[in-house]
Amino acid sequence: MKSIVTGGAGFIGSHMVDALVGRGDEVHIIDNFSTGKREYVNSGAVLHEKDIRDFDSIAPIFHGVSKVFHLAALARVQPSIKDPCTSHDVNSKGTTNVLVAARDAGVGRLVYSASSSAYGNQDTLPLHEEMEARPMSPYALQKYTGELSCRLFSQIYGIETVSLRYFNVYGPRQTTEADGVYATVIGIFLGQRASGRAMTVVPDGTQSRDFTHVRDVVRANLFAAESPNVGKGEVINIGTGKTYAINEVAAVIGGPTVWVEPRLEPKRTLVDITKAKELLGWEPTVDFKEGIEELKKMCGIVLVVSV
């Protein structure tokens, strides 16, 4: 099977490539290394150093492709607030280019990496797919419109698509402080503790998140690419159904904390994964605390404090 992974040198994308190469696929990576890393590129894949904003350069790669996993994006909320135009070009225009290239090449199915940020702040929990989208940032809006584009392309052109809304993905190769504004909270905390510093917590640390291990996200993509129950632009939550306060995350990692300036973000996320179970036959397998312990060992953090 010939597959494309856009953003295949990134955090989630590189794990996706590893899984596809491992099962024997002919895998093509499209990445411009704006946030991806060359050391994450699987030597068994074909690398195309291209930008998804350049349709003419990426379109030929799609010929003869069976599955597309579209993970390329400028992720994170704060960068999109600072520079909404660039974020829009990559996340909106880039997604349209990928969809058109897949349509023109007759790709079998496209799995789109959507974002739980589309929910914004909701009045009730858990979050389910029938809720009204309430994006709170340009990034959240762009990822949400990507879902709508996927569904529209399925309706108009007949290309099979499915959108997976990820909830706070963590694991090996996650973004860290070195990635600046693109860093994730667990990556920041682990980097701070590995260097002996206090973890920086946004007051008052009671905001909570549903954290999902990258191995489970990869499994969800593989299931979505093959399931006979999807392909018409469905939106499906990919999370754990459990939520942890940031204070709890810091306690699991272990060590001192300090307050930093608050930022624009939802107060709490907790996901309903009923559709993932019913349509994909998927549910998470990695326990959060076990996942954190694995990362602590990788970072050389020996302090163990549990909650």
> What's the Cα-to-Cα distance from 239 to each of 30, 44, 243, rounded to whole Å?
26, 29, 10
Q: Identify the residue with better confidence: 261 or 88.
A: 88
* Residues annotated as catalytic (active site), given as ranges: 139
Q: Report residue 49's pLDDT band, with 50, 70 and 90 as the boundaries.
A: very high
What does the alpha-carbon distance between residue 44 and residue 147 come to, in Å, rounded to a whole number? 30
Which amino acid is it at 62? F
Give the residue carrying structure tokens 């996942």. Answer: 291
| Strand boundaries in 71-184, DSSP class E | 109-115, 160-166, 169-170
pLDDT value at residue 306: 37
Count Cβ atoms within 10 A of the Cβ of residue 278 and give its class: 0-12 exposed, 13-18 middle, 19 or more buried: exposed
Interval 7-11 mean pLDDT? 97
- Both tokens assigned to 65: 């492709």
Residue 169's φ and ψ, nearest 5 degrees, are: -75, 135
Instruction: Give the pLDDT score at 286.
Output: 98
R_g of the chain computed on alpha carbons? 19
| pLDDT band of 254, cuts 50, 70, 90 | very high
CATH number of 2-169+212-238: 3.40.50.720
Looking at the chain, which residues constitute the CATH 3.40.50.720 domain(s)?
A: 2-169+212-238
**DSSP string over 236-248:** EEES-S--EEHHH
pLDDT score, position 181: 67
d(CA 113, CA 68): 11
Residue 142's alpha-carbon distances to 22, 120, 146, 236, in angstroms, are 32, 13, 6, 17
Token pair 């858990």: residue: 126
Domain with CATH 3.90.25.10 in the chain: 170-210+242-267+286-299
Is the pLDDT assigned to residue 307 strictly greater than 60? Answer: no
Q: Are residues 68 and 110 in contact, defined by beta-carbon separation less than 8 angstroms?
A: yes
The average confidence (pLDDT) of the chain is 94
- DSSP assigned state of 289: H
Paired tokens of 128: 């389910």
The answer to whether the predicted template modeling score (pTM) of the entire model surpasses 0.75 is yes
Q: Angle at CA 58, nearest 5°, toward 115 and 154?
A: 50
Fold of 170-210+242-267+286-299: UDP-galactose 4-epimerase; domain 1 (3.90.25)
